[in-house]
A and B are shown apart, each in its own frame.
Chain A
Amino acid sequence: VIEGHVGDHAQIVGIGATSMGEHPGRSGDDLAIEAIARALSDAHVDKNEVDGLITCKGFAGSGIDVNVGRMMGINPAYSATLDYGTCNFSLHLACMAIASGLARTIVLTYGTNQRTAGNRFSSPVGGAESRYHATEGFLNIAGPAAMAFRRHQHLYGTTQEQLGRIAVNQRHNARLNPEAIFRDELSIEDYMQSRYIVAPLRRPDLTMISDGGAALVVTAPDRARDLPVVPVSVLGISQHTGLRDLENPDHLMRPWIGEVATRIYDNAGIRREDVDVLYIQDPSSVWVLQMLEWFGFCGVGEAGSFLDEGHTALGGRIPVNTHGGQLSESYMWGWMHLVEAVRQLRGEAGARQVRGAEIAQYCSTMAFKKAASSVLARGIS
């Protein structure tokens, strides 16, 4: 468990991303370096000032710090590789490194060529204990996600149309995002006619697979003040795990995410009602359904009606995944959720801008193993 205010320690001063889609002939690290160059330019920070590098393992051996650092041409004081970045975990490590004095200005990045390199996501979810699931055909996060949604339907009467509101809403948002990959109109009728992949989940409930790179520059407040950018403060961070896996009661419902929710708002010094825009990593729409409930934006079991009432749409009470998320914008392991949160807080989100957005929250998980959340605010706290 990581606790405490970090707002005095870490500011996001640069964001960078490649175009999203297909990048044949380019490696994940190649795409990461392009994103890093863009993020450094955005921050007005020279690469030789960077004294911390945090990478996360990607497809086909990409995302190792010692390789990315060499390609970037730096000898930072601190570098590390996370097995599973999903941005929240990488951002939290950056906050800790700055707070501890290990580094002052950190680049964190993720790059992938998994679409053109042909990652089919045909493995079971989880660690060594779940490898036997391959023979039984229990593959991809779609399986456990479908089971979790079936259970949610059984317990609370949630309908497939209600779940479909998530994909339909995110497609609407993506249509306002020129960088999004899936921009064809998607109505709830289209959703209900789309094919099952792992029933009750349909094609629009599951992430696309795409290539791309993303990077952030995070630094200490005294340095952020000198830069000609609108800084975004990391107000609070929190994590919790469910490492005992299926030995946890109702494990696939991930009730342990609720432990993150009990701490994140106190850590950030805000109330949940203060959040203006919400980002939820979405390898499947079920992540959004579960996290709306565990973070208390609606009651447990009430996400179906909450979605029906339109609260998560642009213009609603709490707009969710304004860029389109992994269901419609791109699959960047949640990294573009944080890039979009910074764009919204800077007022740079164009046609999908949430007016007056001051506070953003990002919630993500490492599959069914652990969860994390960050609260960000415009300006230096």
Chain B
Amino acid sequence: VSSRDRSDPYWDAFWEAATDGTLRSQSCTACGHRRLPPSPQCPECLDPDAVWEPLSGLGRLWSACVYHHAYQSRLRPDLPYAVGLIALAEGPMLIARLGRRDVDAWEIDDEVQFVPNGIAETGVLTFMPRQVQN
């Protein structure tokens, strides 16, 4: 994950958990606002106190796009690749790769879920179609 930007320390706790297979985000202890991207104060009430809580990893696809051009050369082997903007069940919006499906098959409002070993396997935060259990 050498290309991961490490210049913003507020993200460290998020990436540590995501690499281990869990999504989590800050929850404001003053007003309960669930926030992502991570930040030192709550953007709703400006209170600095927060706890990291697990996210379900479930969400709905707000929209998607498919890259056919590599804006950085390291991305060329990945072409074409799909990126989604995901409305997480808990509220925050998250950008992630869309995987384990044909890049052109994604539809808006598709139910998606976090791939726990995605970062370990490919280096990128990945979501896939939601698996319905039983």
Contact = CB atoms under 8 A, between A and B. Distances in A.
B4 interface: yes
Given A136-B96, A147-B85, A197 B124 contact: no
Given A131-B7, A137-B83, A196 B63 contact: no
Interface centre among A130, A135, A148 (most CB of B within 10 A): A135
Interface residues of A, number: 37
A1 interface: no
Given A131-B7, A136-B83, A136-B125, A197 B37 contact: no
Given A135-B124, A150-B65, A121 B93 contact: no
Contact of B68 (A136, A138, A195): A195
A138 B95 contact: yes
B5 A246 contact: no
A134 B2 CA distance: 11
B43 A244 contact: yes
Given A147-B64, A147-B85, A197-B69, A246 B8 contact: no
B46 interface: no
A140 interface: yes
B32 interface: no
Interface stretch (B21-29, B48-56, B71-79): B71-79
Interface string B78-120: 1011010100000011011100000010011100000000000
A311 to B, nearest CB: 27
A226 interface: no
Contacts of B124: 135-137
Interface in A112-136: 120-122, 128-136
A283 to B, nearest CB: 14
Contact of A199 (B7, B62, B66): B66
A133 B107 CA distance: 21
Interface string A254-285: 00000000000000000000000000000000
B1 interface: yes
A136 B98 CA distance: 10
A289 to B, nearest CB: 14
Interface centre among B3, B68, B97 (most CB of A within 10 A): B68
A196 B5 contact: no
A300 interface: no
A150 B108 contact: yes
A143 B83 contact: yes
A151 to B, nearest CB: 4
Nearest to A121: B71
Contact of A198 (B43, B68, B97, B109): B68
A137 B65 contact: no
Interface residues of B, number: 39
Interface in A185-202: 195-201
B72 A135 contact: no
Given A135-B4, A154-B108, A252-B85, A147 B68 contact: no
Contact of A137 (B8, B81, B104): B81
A196 B4 contact: no
Interface centre among B43, B93, B125 (most CB of A within 10 A): B93
Contacts of B80: 199
A15 B85 CA distance: 42
Contacts of B78: 137
B64 A122 contact: no
Contacts of A146: 65-66
A247 interface: yes
A135 to B, nearest CB: 5
Contact of A134 (B5, B64, B65): B5
Contact of A135 (B5, B7, B81): B5
A252 B63 contact: yes
Nearest to A140: B71
A322 B97 CA distance: 38
Contact of B8 (A128, A150, A154, A250): A128
Nearest to A139: B71
Nearest to A145: B65
A147 B63 contact: yes
Contacts of A138: 83, 95
Interface in A173-223: 195-201
B83 A122 contact: no
A378 to B, nearest CB: 41
Given A137-B71, A246-B85, A247-B43, 20 more contacts: A132-B11, A133-B95, A135-B3, A135-B124, A136-B125, A137-B75, A137-B97, A138-B83, A139-B71, A139-B72, A143-B83, A147-B64, A147-B65, A150-B65, A150-B108, A196-B66, A197-B69, A198-B66, A198-B69, A251-B93
